[in-house]
Amino acid sequence: QQPVQSPQAVILREGEDAVINCSSSKALYSVHWYRQKHGEAPVFLMILLKGGEQKGHDKISASFNEKKQQSSLYLTASQLSYSGTYFCGTEASGAGSYQLTFGKGTKLSVIP
Amino acid sequence: DAGVTQSPTHLIKTRGQHVTLRCSPISGHKSVSWYQQVLGQGPQFIFQYYEKEERGRGNFPDRFSARQFPNYSSELNVNALLLGDSALYLCASSLRIAGSSGANVLTFGAGSRLTVL
């Protein structure tokens, strides 16, 4: 089943912070975050494996709550380059799970 | 190093025709996955191949088929095209197969945009 992302869209001014949430009804092995700009391929941001770890990359970080099967992406001090659609992709636990299931995406627009 | 390369980048077909899309993975990557992305939606899983064997198939009709060659490149074939097949078809390569231990990071190609008229 497709993970649910929220919000669907958000508009920020440069320097503001944002949180994007991803929730799944399945037990997860990992959560992946990608950013896609218009007309381009999705670009990998980070992956979180089960264990509740938090990862960060520059001013973008994420957490994974294994008990709740939820992940959040945190964007701090947003820059114009952060604009795009953010997708979470979930990898289910258990044998035979050979796919990422993506949410519908969160469109982030950063304005000056 | 070259990333994931896909061809063609754009193509227009008519209903009932057949299409073949091609993908070359990153050097050293043995796993190739295919995803369909309809406008405004997230990518939807079609196939995963690892070491030339099909390891996963999404909820797509039998009109969709794929294969992986000894050099790990891959083809996606779609027969009897329907208007609803219009989409961006993304190929992604990875070192590991999904579901195995360790991270399975996908690197996507720029995609093949298919328009069915």
Provide the pLDDT for residue B100: 55
A60 conformational bin, left if phi > 0, alpha if psi -120 to 50, beta if neither: beta
From chain B, the residues in CB contact with A104 under 8 A are 40-42
- DSSP state letter for A8: S
pLDDT digits (tens, 9 = 90+) for A33-48: 999 999 899 999 988 8
From chain B, the residues in CB contact with A105 under 8 A are 41-42
In chain B, what percentage of residues exceed pLDDT 70? 93
Asked whether the predicted pLDDT for residue A57 surpasses 80, the reply is: no
Beta partners for residue B20, in sequence order: B77
A66 conformational bin, left if phi > 0, alpha if psi -120 to 50, beta if neither: alpha
CA-closest candidate to residue B49, choices A48, A19, A98:
A98
Asked whether the predicted pLDDT for residue A97 surpasses 60, the reply is: no
pLDDT digits (tens, 9 = 90+) for B69-78: 999 999 999 9
CA-closest candidate to residue A41, choices B97, B9, B27:
B9
Q: What residues contact A3, with CB distance under 8 A and at least 6 apart?
A: A22, A23, A24, A88, A89, A90, A101, A102, A103
Distance from CA of B14 to the nearest CA of A (A): 23
Which one of A44, A98, A103 has the shortest CB-CB distance to B105?
A44
User: Across residues B20-25, what is the average pLDDT?
Assistant: 98
Interface of B with A in 2-31 (CB under 8 A): none
End-to-end CA distance of chain B: 37
From chain A, the residues in CB contact with B107 under 8 A are 44
- Per-chain mean pLDDT for chain A: 89
Q: B100 touching A, CB under 8 A? A: no
Q: A61 touching B, CB under 8 A? A: no
Q: A84 touching B, CB under 8 A? A: no
Interface mutation target, options A50, A100, A101, A107, chain B, most CBs of B under 10 Å:
A100
Q: A21 touching B, CB under 8 A? A: no
Q: What domains are defined for chain A?
A: 4-111 (2.60.40.10)
Beta partners for residue B91, in sequence order: B34
Q: Give, in words, the CATH class of B5-116.
A: mainly beta
Distance in angstroms (rounded) separating the CA atoms of residues A78 and A4: 23
Q: Where are the domains of chain B?
A: 5-116
